[in-house]
Amino acid sequence: VYESRRESSLKIVEETERTRAKITEDLTLIEERLGELDAEKEELDKYRALDRERRCMEYAIYSLEQEDVVEQLDEIDIKREQLVIAVNARQEACAEFERQAADLEPEIRAAKQGLELLRLEREQLANEAEEHARARAQIESAIQDLEQDRASGRDSITELRRTVDDLNRDIRKRESELSRIESEYSKAIKAESALRERFDVADQQRKSLLQKQGRSGQFSSKRERDTWLNGEISRLELSIEQQRVQFEATEREQAEIQSRLASISTAMAETRARAEASVQQVSEMQARETQLREEKDVKISQRKDLWRKEARLETERSDLHEELKRAERSLGSTVDRATSEGLQALPAIRERLGLNGIHGPLFELFEVDETYRTCVEAIAGSSLFHVVVDSDETASKVLSELNRQKLGRLTFMPLNRLNPSATTYPGASDAIPMIERLVFNRRYQRAFQHVFGKTIICPSLDVGSGYARGMNLTAVTLEGDKVDRRGELMGGFVSRKGSRLEAAKSLAQIRARVQAADAQAKETLATLAVLDQEITGLHSTLQMLSARISQAGNDRSSTKQELKQLVKNEADSKAFGEGVSKSLATLKAQQRSAELELQALQNELQTPFARGITAEERQVLERLLVEVDAQASELAKLSSRR
């Protein structure tokens, strides 16, 4: 134990010696440093003395310079005040110029629109003038041709009229003569028929007597004669029967021809009536075509006017939409971007969701005199852009749509949730309730009471401070400086350029103009569409009418051909009927001759057998010979006359 402690003590002694040596060394260094510091102290004392002299000299110099600077600052302040006065005057002049420029902007836009419209109208009028010039040249050429034709055709027209008159007189004369000849022809035919009938009877009697006289030596007995006569009688009866059948067939053929002639006559009458109706119909359709073309020209002229009006409205709408964008940017520059996007999306959301409970931003719901505009903006602040709705349910729907489409942010004032407390105002002339200077619909009373209900307008902050503390109100001056019930003051310079209400009023006016222009353009387009449909309908009707006129012309040509064919058929049928009538007359004469011969044979069969003819029959034969010759001569004369 002793040894271990002795070793520990020795170690401690050694450590102590080392520490002592170190301390000695440190003391030596400290003494050296103290010597250096003493030297530096002496130098510092010298420096302080010199620095004090330097500062005294600098102070003297700075003092002189300060006096010069103060004098210069005084001069600068004087100049600044003068410049402030000049700047204020120039700002007022600039504001006046801006107001004048703003007043002149509508006139400038109107003038530009007028120039653009005049340019468009000039182009349209130039095109119309070119078309009219071409049409005029064509019309003048046609007029010259017509005048030449009229000059050259005047004599021919007179000659043709004279020829037509001569032809009409000749036609009337020949028609009268034809009527007379037809009457005489009919009488001659009747007389010839009667004479031919008598001639046939007399000639048959003559032939019978001559035949009887010729066959008198042919028979040796009455029986032989009677046998031959009976055979002849049978032959004649058979021949008469055949002639009767042929006569009946010819009569049927004649009846068919008469029926055919009646049908042809009826068809001709119908065809003539159809031709006359076709002429009348073509005349009516041509008159209708002229009327429709005039109506179409009127509507085309109206459409051109509407085109010009549409171009003018399109130019106005384009300018108004540009102006609307500028107004929206101007109003949007007074609020944050999210609120601006929300306000721009609000009308589309209202229309898409069909929400009638969205009344609009607060600034759209009231009007205020320009005198109170600055103080109203100072009190309302961002509340001007709060959206008034009928209920919180409507606000929730709009908020959901804004979030869904990421269209910005809006603050809503649901009327069913606003319950502003009643406010007592001081009955003094220097404390005007702000809400009384606003013009708005009383259905939004809660919203305006919520924003402006506890504000009064005072002539100065000193007056307003007393009312604010005493009646728990917010007082504001016309310049926009305000003091609240806690005594906080807020105010300063307000630029007229950044007026939110002015931008909102301008935006509302431009929107109204845009809506009016859009409605007018829509109405014009609707009228144009109706006119286009009417013109298209008229064009289709004219095409159909032209086709019908062309078809009527073709029908008229075919009707003429049909009438010509019917006339030919009538002439052929009449010629064939005359042949049939002649055949019928011939058959009738042959039948009558056969009947007379049969009667003569039957009479001869009843007489006693004798050779030759009797004296009485001879006398009759001689008389008949004379009569037949006379009648043949008379028939020849009648036939020649006929």
Which pLDDT tens digit goes with each residue over 573-615? 877 877 777 777 777 777 777 777 677 767 766 776 655 556 6
Give the whole-angstrom CA distance, residue 15 versus residue 7.
12
pLDDT at 217: 58
What residues form DSSP beta bridges with 474? Answer: 455
Confidence of residue 388 (pLDDT cuts 50, 70, 90): very high
pLDDT in tens, 233-250: 788 778 878 878 887 887
**Please, is 296 exposed, middle or buried when counting C-beta atoms within 10 Å of its C-beta (0-12, 13-18, 19+)?**
middle
- Which of 98-102, 187-191, 426-430, 553-557 is the least confident region? 187-191
End-to-end CA distance of the chain: 200
Asked if the model's pLDDT at residue 101 lies above 80, the reply is no
pLDDT at 640: 64
State mean pLDDT over 261-267: 85
Cα distances from 60 to residues 51, 55, 79, in angstroms, run: 14, 8, 29
Asked if the model's pLDDT at residue 523 lies above 80, the reply is yes
Q: Are 274 and 560 within 8 A, CB to CB?
A: no
Angle at 270 between CA 268 and CA 273, to 5 degrees: 105
CB within 8 Å of 272: residues ≥ 6 apart = 563
Neighbours of 538 (CB within 10 A): 18
Asked if the model's pLDDT at residue 122 lies above 60, the reply is yes
pLDDT at 195: 66
Q: What is the mean pLDDT of the chain?
A: 80
The token duo for 401 is 């749509």
Coil, strand or helix: which one is 475? strand
Residue type at 640 in one-letter notation: S
Question: In the Cβ-directed half-sphere of 287, how many Cα atoms lie within 13 Å?
Answer: 5
Q: Are 407 and 341 within 8 A, CB to CB?
A: yes
Give the whole-angstrom CA distance, residue 137 versus residue 181.
60
Select the more confidently predicted residue: 35 or 203: 35
State mean pLDDT over 394-423: 87
The token duo for 523 is 């109405």
Nearest to 507, CA basis, from 351, 372, 331:
331
The token duo for 295 is 């109506």
Residue type at 357 in one-letter notation: G
Confidence of residue 124 (pLDDT cuts 50, 70, 90): confident
Asked if the model's pLDDT at residue 456 lies above 70, the reply is yes
Asked if the model's pLDDT at residue 293 lies above 80, the reply is yes
Question: Over the range 112-126, which residues count as b (16 or more CB within 10 Å of their CB) and which as e?
Answer: ebeebbeebeeeeee
Report the 3 state secondary structure along 144-187. HHHHHHHHHHHHHHHHHHHHHHHHHHHHHHHHHHHHHHHHHHHH
Coil, strand or helix: which one is 195? helix
Cα distances from 234 to residues 193, 222, 238, 589, 604, in angstroms, run: 29, 18, 6, 20, 14
Confidence of residue 414 (pLDDT cuts 50, 70, 90): very high
- Which of 30-44, 232-246, 292-306, 472-486 is the least confident region? 232-246
pLDDT at 156: 63
